Amino acid sequence: MYNLTKVMFSGFRKIKTYHLPKHTVDTRLLSFKYFLRDLCVLRGNISLFTDVSWKLLCPILLLITIVHAAILPAQENIKAENTNWLSEANINISEPGMIETTLPPGMHHIPVTELSRDSGLDLTLLGPDNRERPFELFWTERGDMQVIGIEASTLKLDNLKRLIWEGITPDNFIVKKIMVGISDKNYIGKVDIEGLTSSGWRMLATDVALYRAAGDDRAIVDIQEGEYERLRLSFSGYDIRFREIPAFVEKVEIKGEVSKRGYIEEVITPEIEKINNDDSTEIRITLPGTGIYIEKIFITTSSMFRGSWQLGWDTISMGEQHFMEIRTGECSFTGNENPSIMINLGMQSRREAMIIRLKSAEYFGEIRDVSITARLPRMVFFAEREGAYTLKTGAGKKAHVKEMRSGKETGQHQLIVSAPIINPAWQPEQIPDDTVLRGGPFNDEGYTWRSGIHIERPGFYRLVLDNKAGLEANRQGLRIVKDGMQVPCFFGRREERKIDIGEKFEYDRSNNRSIMPLTLPSDSGHIRGIRLTGKGIFKRELIIETEQPGRSGWQRWLKKEWINTRNETSHFDISINELPWSQSAMRLIIDHGDNQPVLPEKIEAVYDGQDLFFLAGKSGEYMVTGGNPKAKAASYDLAIIQDFLFNRVPEKIMMNETESIHDTKWSSRLSSLFSEKGWGLYGVLGLVTLVLLIIIVRLFPRK
């Protein structure tokens, strides 16, 4: 049998080498079919095969192939499960039992699919053996049974000579029994009990006999259990004497349980990006996860304010990114210390990126700090063994957060989750096949410049346009291209961008004024105006002059006053509508009057800038190109997957230096002629052949 097997496999290696596919059993069995086919050919050529050995060998080979086909995919799936996670955190358990912990903000994640638009979180718990464990997420739970003494807030006699007792009950407490301590051992009377709810007073018990039981100094009354803001007890006796002399109440106690423990709250300091617009200050907030329940947002500024706020996130419409408002409100602060804005939300954020707009007729001041008070869910599970238990997000498995825990008992061990670790190799939820977006072919006719973009890995990107691209007149004609095909993209919301246009001032000592030539960087229509930034307490006259025809002198075009009453940084804006577009030359004059010269720290041109957002399906070299005044705005289908896009923070990338397409067009065409598919080489060879033929003909001896 050894010789038979040796001959068979040595002969097989001479026939064909098989590379079996790694993903499906069907392709493996198909390869096995051709393996048997070749083996039959081999069997017909080797006399050592016998019928017995053939019948034994075929089942063995078939079994080996089936086992190989079943085991390898399972191993690959285990590997994929171990690596395809978004964030991970550990809980180190030294003693088995019930475990209770708090889910940190970084372990919140909501998958963005059409079937997952609810409050569930994407969360998995793995034990030390790397197998999943059941767990429960909840906001609060009931407490243990307890007795609480209530102080009387009101104690009086009514017209019927009844003793009226009122007391305030604790918040979130379910009252089940009322225990009344009576001073008289022989007292026999009755009591009416009422409870105050949000809808008013409610009768809980009437004409309940009230007496001291043997061996007990309290009278115990069962009532309809519930949560009540106040309790009112009306005491009276059964006979005439007791009607005239009501009971003497020493104490009132209630027996029940806490309806729910207080919510767990944590203060988060998110990443923020501040943008100043014409009429508002915009704050982009990046949360540590999605699905975080936000109670409040605190914004600290540098000065007093009075205005409104808007909270929302981004959406795509008409090929551009727009702000969609979710909440709005008014805010004001006129104190002298720690000016801050508090926004009460009480909502779950479904995105990592949120936007807050602050609008005010007055300047808000510099945004110093943003903090978020978040409500975090509790988590409980049973650990049957010690070791490291692992929480993971990004696997697409839903876990719903209950308002109240199923059981009453708290976890035996209160443990803390380790700091989350982000997996850079995580692949997010796949876009369905019917929405895979690919752009059409790119025609570079009319385009005059381009800039290369290097993408290291697939993902969602935000290309920050430089001043050249941002100030282009036909900005909607910009395109992102890879391998001759358009890459679907959309423009971000218009943001305030600035370019330094300040030059050196010349000081006119005789008139005590400073003069600076003023040149705007573009006439594309995106310029908003000019901004001067300075610090100090001053009042200065600003004058803009234009050059007269024939360079015969200067004439005044505009005069304004810049007043700053605080020793803080202030801005002074001059709108583009106030400036003369028809003049080729302008200059700015600051008249100091009788004061010492005060010059601006910065002079900038302010324009409406936009960035380009795109989804890169693969790594490699991309290109942004522009300069085509006739190109129309592109229309892609990215709005279909905007939830998929905006639920992740885009990675910022910068443009490289631009190059002129005209300078490279002829060289690229020439190189394409001599490429593998070009006809340039054949043309040169043909020309050389023709020249050689002419030379040969001329050198050939004539008769």
Q: Does residue 42 register a pLDDT over 80? A: no
Q: Say how far apart CA 267 and CA 277 lie, in whole Å.
A: 28
With pLDDT > 70 as the criterion, what percentage of the chain qualifies?
Answer: 74
Cα–Cα distance for residue pair 508/413, rounded to 1 Å: 78
Give the number of other Cβ atoms within 10 Å of residue 436's Cβ: 11
- Answer for the pair 565, 575: CB distance below 8 angstroms, yes or no: no
State the average pLDDT over residues 201-208: 88
Instruction: Kindly report the average pLDDT of the chain as a whole number.
Output: 79
Rg (CA), the chain: 40
Show me where the domains of the chain are located.
2-83, 85-138+261-421, 145-258, 433-494+610-657, 497-609, 666-699
For residue 273, what pLDDT band results from cuts at 50, 70 and 90?
confident
Residues 633-668 as b/e (b if ≥16 CB within 10 A, e otherwise) read: ebebebeebbebbbbeebeebebeebeebeeeeeee
Pairwise pLDDT comparison (351 vs 698), residue with the higher score: 351
The model's pLDDT over 490-545, given as tens digits with 9 standing for 90+, comes to 898 888 899 999 888 999 999 999 999 988 887 778 898 999 999 989 999 999 99
The torsion of the CA quartet 672, 673, 675, 677, rounded to 10 degrees, works out to 110
Residue type, 601: E
Give the separation between CA 462 and CA 316, rounded to whole angstroms: 14
Measured CA to CA, the distance from residue 453 to residue 478 in angstroms comes to 14
Specify whether the CB–CB gap between 564 and 536 falls below 8 A. yes
In sequence order, what are the residues at sequence separation of 6 or more whose Cβ sits closer than 8 angstroms to the Cβ of residue 239?
none
Cα–Cα distance between 29 and 33 in angstroms, integer?
A: 6
The backbone torsions φ and ψ at residue 588, rounded to the nearest 5 degrees and listed phi first, read -105, 130
525: Cα separation from own chain's centroid: 33
145-258 shares its CATH topology with 497-609: yes
- Residue 219 reports pLDDT greater than 80: no
Return d(Cα 689, Cα 673) in angstroms, integer: 19
User: For the segment 626-654, what is each residue's pLDDT rounded down to a tens digit?
Assistant: 999 999 988 887 766 776 777 667 889 99
Angle between helices 51-83 and 25-45 (to 10 degrees): 150
Return the bridge partners of 221, or none: 178
Residues 65-91: what's their mean pLDDT? 62
Buried b / exposed e across 267-285, counting CB within 10 Å, b at 16+? ebebeeeebbbeebbbbbb
CB contact at 8 A, 283 and 301: no
pLDDT exceeds 90 at position 450:
yes
Region 184-190 average pLDDT: 72
Work out whether strand 513-518 and strand 506-508 pair parallel, antiparallel, or are unpaired.
antiparallel
Residue 403 identity (one-letter amino acid): E
User: Which amino acid makes up residue 414?
Assistant: Q
3-state secondary structure (DSSP) of residue 516: strand
Q: Say how many CA atoms lie within 13 Å of 459 toward its Cβ.
A: 17
Domain 145-258's class? mainly beta
Type of residue at 184:
D
CATH number of 497-609, picked from 2.60.40, 1.10.1200, 2.40.50, 2.60.120: 2.60.120
Continuous segment of H or E residues that includes residue 368: strand 367-376
CA quadruple 263, 268, 274, 276: dihedral sign = positive
Which range is least confidently modeled, 266-270, 417-421, 622-626, 682-686? 682-686
CA distance 616 to 432: 16
Angle in degrees, 0-180, between the axes of helices 25-45 and 2-15, rounded to the nearest 10: 110
Residue 611: count of CB within 10 angstroms of its CB: 22
Nearest one of 591, 594, 527, 515 to 554, comparing CA atoms: 515
Query: How far is the C-alpha of 544 from the C-alpha of 562, rounded, in Å?
Result: 13
282/326 Cα distance (integer angstroms): 15
Average pLDDT over residues 589-613: 92
